[in-house]
């Protein structure tokens, strides 16, 4: 049978697609992150289906049972909002379904970082979506050190409780850069705040609710190669991104005879 990966609105229920509604109505059961949250949308569109809660701590425990049901039934995988698997549960289920030869179809729709990116005023041609940073400070710094030399836009998700600390960490490692934060996207109080990291106090007067999308300007400096480079691959990456030097050109320079 088939597993449908169905994208849902990130706030405004009117953003659901016709295909998403049709798919949710025709499947035999729905796999969702939080049944209580999902019922609000399903009831709004008069969709009555058996629900299976599927969040990160229980993914491994429930995957086998879901795969057995998919041998005879069709199912939809949804998250609380946006596109499943993007900083949400479901990746392990999809991987195992592919191994089992189960057909998979994606029903496209909203993802929070896309509207945040286009609202940011920062470069949209090339970007890196990282998602949530780890919780431990030392791990955050390690990751930021690896990202700071990238010269295209970087996107993070963050919770309201951690937003101020996270911006401080980014400023410490990246230095001052342009940034934007989008909050409550598609909702009544949607807002995008733009500025520079050194002036991050502009957030103080804001009511911070819901998941935040942080957009950070890429590294525009070509003066110094990051001290965090530890391998040849990382060096090649920086030289290619910041100095437009290809691998073949680098080899030519390294082995050039006097």
Tens of pLDDT, residues 117-137:
999 999 999 999 999 999 999
Quick one: average pLDDT of 137-152?
96
Q: Which residue has the higher pLDDT, 229 or 131?
A: 131
| 1, 62, 165, 219 from 54: Cα distances, Å | 19, 7, 30, 38
- Enter the CATH code of domain 2-107: 3.40.1010.10
Give the fold, CATH level 3, of 113-243: 3.30.950
> Which residues make Cβ contacts (< 8 Å) with residue 193, sequence separation at least 6?
180, 181, 182, 183, 202, 203, 206
Instruction: Give the Cα separation of 211 and 183 in Å (integer).
Output: 7
At 254, the pLDDT band (50, 70, 90 cuts) reads low
Tell me the pLDDT of the chain averaged across its residues: 89
Query: Is 60 exceeded by the pLDDT of residue 228?
Result: no
Contact 150, 217 (CB under 8 A): no
Quick one: average pLDDT of 90-102?
96
Quick one: average pLDDT of 225-253?
61
pTM of the model: 0.82
* Domain parsing of the chain, residue ranges: 2-107, 113-243
* pLDDT computed for residue 58 by the predictor: 86
Of 47-61, 83-97, 225-239, least confident by mean pLDDT is 225-239
Quick one: average pLDDT of 138-163?
95
User: In the chain, which ranges are continuous DSSP H helix?
Assistant: 18-26, 35-44, 59-70, 91-99, 113-120, 137-147, 163-174, 232-243, 247-254
Instruction: Give the Cα separation of 240 and 186 in Å (integer).
Output: 37
């Amino acid at each position: 049978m088939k597993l449908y990966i169905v994208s849902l609105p990130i706030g405004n229920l009117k953003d659901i697609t016709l295909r998403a509604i049709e798919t949710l109505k025709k499947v035999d059961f729905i796999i969702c992150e939080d049944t209580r949250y999902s019922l609000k949308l399903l009831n709004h569109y008069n969709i009555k289906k058996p629900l299976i809660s599927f969040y990160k701590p229980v993914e491994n425990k429930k995957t086998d049972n879901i795969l057995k049901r998919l041998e005879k039934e069709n199912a939809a995988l949804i998250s609380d909002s946006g596109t499943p698997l993007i900083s949400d549960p479901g990746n392990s289920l999809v991987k195992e379904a592919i191994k089992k030869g189960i057909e998979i179809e994606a029903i496209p729709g909203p993802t929070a970082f896309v509207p945040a990116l286009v609202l940011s005023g920062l470069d949209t041609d090339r970007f890196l979506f990282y998602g949530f940073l780890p919780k431990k400070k030392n791990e955050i710094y390690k990751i930021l050190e690896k990202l700071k030399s990238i010269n295209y836009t970087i996107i993070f998700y963050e919770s309201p409780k951690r937003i101020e600390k996270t911006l401080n960490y980014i400023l410490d490692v990246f230095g001052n850069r342009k940034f934007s934060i989008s909050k409550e996207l598609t909702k009544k109080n949607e807002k995008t705040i733009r500025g520079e990291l050194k002036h991050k106090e502009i957030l103080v007067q804001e009511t911070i609710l819901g998941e935040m999308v942080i957009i950070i300007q890429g590294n525009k400096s070509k003066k110094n190669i990051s001290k965090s480079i530890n391998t040849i691959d990382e060096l090649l990456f920086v030289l290619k991104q910041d100095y437009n030097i290809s691998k073949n050109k680098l080899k030519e320079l390294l082995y050039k005879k006097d």
